[in-house]
Amino acid sequence: MKAPSKELSIDDVVGRLESGMTLGIGGWGSRRKPMALVRAILRSDLTDLHVVSYAGPDVGLLLAAGKASKVTYAFATLDSIPLEPLFGRARQDGTAEFREWDEGMFQTGLRAAAQRLPFLPMRAGLGSAVLENDPALRTVTSPYDDGEELVAVPALTLDVALVHMNRADTQGNAQYLGPDPYFDDLFCMAAREAYVSTEQIIDPAGLTVDAPLQSLIINRTMVAGVVETPNGAHFTTCTPTYERDETFQKAYATAAKDPDDWAAFSERFLSGDEDAYQAAVKAFHEEAAS
């Protein structure tokens, strides 16, 4: 018996989210972010989100739009541009609550949530300012003969996770084709519900035709819904389908430095639906080339 389809629209996915949720967003900096879903959240009435992310423009946009009231992150970067500018402004102005962890601690928090554990111990953070800046973090003493003191990294339990993959089938099995899986599978397993956006929905038999089985890091048991969003990671990378749109990212970062410029940028690129966004980006590049 064939498993039922989990295919949804962008609006279907966002319609399942609620204000106040803890929302995990996969990808890494400005790499393979589920940007079409992020843009849909910008158009929604959602507010008071706690966003958990290896942060890039996903977090910057949600902060600028007043959608995120708290962010747990390991960094906030556009990769080729070191600091995500909208994040930087929000951090400086204190317009949200921020919780910064070491990259390894962040991964460990996801692993704890994925394993349904309250915490996992690790050494990262000891002797650093992480514990000083986050007084809620605690240490634990090993119950064995070593008696070692370790950081007790609390689980990063998510209500919902959003990730972007190169390919998927209608049942939610999803595949990356680039050089790095990031931690998208951990985001999905750490969440009560996970939604995958993908460049292309294909027949399940096609998922292993030209890619190794281990590239299928997300399976249908992790996924509540899948949505086809061609160019849906733009302007971040989705290697090898496409690379980062550096020209557009530079325009984004430049506009973010000035409130008036940002208002104009938002009106041009973020005021309509996803089709309008993609059309505006195409026009932007046509103008740049002329």
Do 198 and 150 lie in one domain? The reply is no
Tokens 């930087």 belong to which residue? 88
Is residue 216 a part of any domain in this protein? yes
Is residue 262 a part of any domain in this protein? no
Taking only the tens place, the pLDDT of each residue in 180-235 is 999 999 999 999 999 999 999 999 989 988 888 899 999 999 999 999 999 999 99
Q: Which of 230, 247, 264 is the last residue of a domain?
A: 247
The answer for residues whose C-beta is within 8 angstroms of residue 195's C-beta and 6 or more apart is: 8, 13, 16, 37, 160, 161, 162, 163, 223, 224, 225, 226, 227
Q: Which of 154, 174, 205 is the last residue of a domain?
A: 154
Do 241 and 134 lie in one domain? The reply is no
Q: Is the pTM of this model over 0.95?
A: yes
What range does the domain containing 54 cover?
10-118+156-247
Do 167 and 59 lie in one domain? The reply is yes
Number of domains present in the structure of the chain: 2
CB atoms within 10 A of CB 163: 31
Is residue 25 a part of any domain in this protein? yes
Is residue 280 a part of any domain in this protein? no
What is the pLDDT, as a whole number, of residue 208?
A: 85
Tokens 């990769």 belong to which residue? 79
Do 206 and 89 lie in one domain? The reply is yes
DSSP H helices, 44-153, are: 57-64, 85-93, 103-114, 130-133
Q: How far apart are CA 24 and CA 110, in angstroms?
A: 10
Do 25 and 106 lie in one domain? The reply is yes
Do 82 and 44 lie in one domain? The reply is yes
What is the pLDDT, as a whole number, of residue 3?
A: 79
Taking only the tens place, the pLDDT of each residue in 54-86 is 999 999 999 999 999 999 999 999 999 999 999
Do 31 and 166 lie in one domain? The reply is yes
Q: How confident is the model at residue 87 (pLDDT cuts 50, 70, 90)?
A: very high
Do 144 and 21 lie in one domain? The reply is no
Whether the per-residue pLDDT at 166 is higher than 90: the answer is yes
CATH number for the domain harbouring residue 101 = 3.40.1080.10
Whether the per-residue pLDDT at 2 is higher than 80: the answer is no
Whether the per-residue pLDDT at 88 is higher than 70: the answer is yes
What is the pLDDT, as a whole number, of residue 1?
A: 64
Do 108 and 169 lie in one domain? The reply is yes
Taking only the tens place, the pLDDT of each residue in 114-151 is 999 999 999 999 988 899 889 899 999 999 999 999 99
Quick one: CA torsion of 36, 271, 243, 207, rounded to 10 degrees? 20
Do 131 and 70 lie in one domain? The reply is no
